[in-house]
Amino acid sequence: MSQIEKIIRSVIDPETLNSISDLGFIREVKEENNKVMITLTPPTFWCPPTFLYMILEDLRDKLRRNYSEVYIEIIGHHDGERLSKCINNGLKFEECYRGEIIKGEYEELKRRFKERFERGKSNNLVKLSLEVTGEICKLLAEERRWREGG
């Protein structure tokens, strides 16, 4: 596995326990002279911006530790353009959706899902909920890729 593949694989979707590699997010990776450009598509057009942003932040930060220039583009999402702009400009979620959110809630949500993630390791019901959601996302991503000829 190349370095870039390893980095992408280490980014986990907080709603499902799955790596974004297994959820079919990645459409294109271009790497050149310490620069990287990644195009990604979430499993559905309606993927919640909150959780998508958590994924994007994690991916961006990990890439920035290894590359001098990082560019991420989200396609096939209802708010892809805005999300791409915000993540590349280093904006916080609440700056990206100014006026649409309550201050501090995004961080709180992140914390709660980290906890849920931990709970899922020992609690069968939480584990099942995460797994079933992951399975749906994987199946949807496959269909989508096929439909869009990606």
Partner 1 sequence: MIKVETPDGKIHEIPVIDYHVHVWKASEDNWLRPELAKGWIDCFYDYHKALSPPEYIMDYNTFKYYGSRKMIEDVIINGYVDIVITQPQYLLYFYLKPFGNTEEFSKLSAQNPYRFIIGTRWDPRDGEQGKLQLEEDVRKYRVKPWQMKHVKLYTAEWKDMGGNLSRGWRLDSKEAFDFIEYSKSLGITILVPHKGPTVWPLDKDAFDVKDVDTAATSFPDVKFLVTHIGLPRFDDFCWIGVQDKNVYAGLAVATAFIHKRPRYFAQILAELLFWLGEDRILFGSDYAIWNPKWILEDFIKFELPPDIEKEYGVQLTLEVKKKILYENAAKLWGLDINEFVKVISNDEISKEKRVLEVKLTKDQTY
Q: What is the closest distance, in whole angstroms, from the C-beta atom of residue 137 to partner 1 in the complex?
A: 9
Q: What is the closest distance, in whole angstroms, from the C-beta atom of residue 50 to partner 1 in the complex?
A: 6
Q: What is the closest distance, in whole angstroms, from the C-beta atom of residue 70 to partner 1 in the complex?
A: 25
Nearer to partner 1, 71 or 113 (CB): 113
Nearer to partner 1, 10 or 139 (CB): 139
Residue ranges in contact with partner 1 by CB under 8 A = 15-16, 44-50, 78, 93-94, 97, 100-102, 105-106, 109, 112-113, 116, 123, 125-126, 128-129, 131-133, 135-136, 139-140, 142-144, 147
Q: What is the closest distance, in whole angstroms, from the C-beta atom of residue 28 to partner 1 in the complex?
A: 21
Nearer to partner 1, 53 or 67 (CB): 53
Residue type at 97 in one-letter notation: Y
Nearer to partner 1, 36 or 42 (CB): 42
Nearer to partner 1, 28 or 142 (CB): 142
Q: What is the closest distance, in whole angstroms, from the C-beta atom of residue 121 to partner 1 in the complex?
A: 13
Q: How far is CA 37 from CA 45, 113, 124, 126, 129, in A?
A: 21, 28, 38, 35, 33
Q: How would you write the chain as a 3-class SS string?
A: CCHHHHHHHCCECCCCCCECCCCCCEEEEEEECCEEEEEECCCCCCCCHHHHHHHHHHHHHHHHCCCCEEEEEECCCCCHHHHHHHHHCCCCHHHHCCCCCCCCHHHHHHHHHHHHHHHCCCCHHHHHHHHHHHHHHHHHHHHHHHHCCC
